[in-house]
Amino acid sequence: MPYDAYKTYLALKNHFTKSNYDYHKYNKKTRASVQSFYKRKDRFWFEKVARQKSEKEVEHFFVSNFVSCSDPQTLWIGEIIRNGEGNYREWQKKIQSLSYLFKEEVELFSDSDFDALFRIEGSRHPEVLKMHLQGKISLETMIILDRILGYKSKFDKKLKDPVWELTSMKMSKYSPFLNTDVFRYKKILKQVVIGEK
């Protein structure tokens, strides 16, 4: 139903932009009313999305758009209408080949002092964050590395700057949508970093 697609959009917008809203905890609930939906000029677009996609695909469609933009706070519906399908396709490809992407990205660490990548000196960004900001390491890899190493909480305590805070919030908000077998990724990381078979 178009109204359901609209509610999913609003709930995910709240999830990705408000620190105190959790999409799963609140079971997608929002204050959206049917009346407000029918007053929207873009409701026909939601009708089209609802017609073309299953409920789960609608969820993935919006998640892919919120995680692909640099700042979810600034993402507006017009942008999703314009670029949404392209972002969704890119995200699907990434998710389908996630272990390959992870291996490729962590291979960038093979010539580095691995521990030094996560070291914070003063207020300078650690190397792993710089690599993410330069587009060398995806948000997915950042999340998987945190699941293996648990570095994020240390960064949260030590880095008090808007760049890390935005990245940290994106990681926290995206993480529940990312299903990974941590054991498998740990094995890939060990193979790359210490050459373990």
Kindly report, residue by residue over 75-128, the tens digit of the pLDDT: 888 889 899 999 999 999 999 999 999 999 999 988 889 999 999 998 889 999
- Residues 6+ away with beta carbon under 8 Å from 128: 117, 118, 137, 142, 145, 151
Q: What is the CA angle 5-22-82, rounded to 5?
A: 40
**pLDDT of the residue at 74:** 82
**pLDDT of the residue at 108:** 92
195 conformational bin, left if phi > 0, alpha if psi -120 to 50, beta if neither: left
| Beta carbons of 161 and 192 less than 8 angstroms apart | no
**pLDDT of the residue at 128:** 97
Kindly report, residue by residue over 148-192, the tens digit of the pLDDT: 999 999 999 999 899 999 999 999 999 999 999 999 999 999 998
Length of the chain: 197
Whether residue 3 has pLDDT greater than 90: yes
Question: Where residue 45 falls among pLDDT bands split at 50, 70, 90?
Answer: very high
Tell me the residue ranges of DSSP E strands in 39-178. none
Query: Model-level pTM?
Result: 0.91
Whether residue 72 has pLDDT greater than 90: no
**pLDDT of the residue at 70:** 82
| Beta carbons of 193 and 114 less than 8 angstroms apart | yes
CA–CA gap between residue 47 and residue 62 (Å, rounded): 15
**pLDDT of the residue at 197:** 55
Domains of the chain as residue ranges with CATH? 2-96 (1.10.8.60), 98-194 (1.10.220.50)
Mean pLDDT of 32-56: 93
Whether residue 21 has pLDDT greater than 70: yes
**pLDDT of the residue at 196:** 61
Mean pLDDT of 30-38: 90
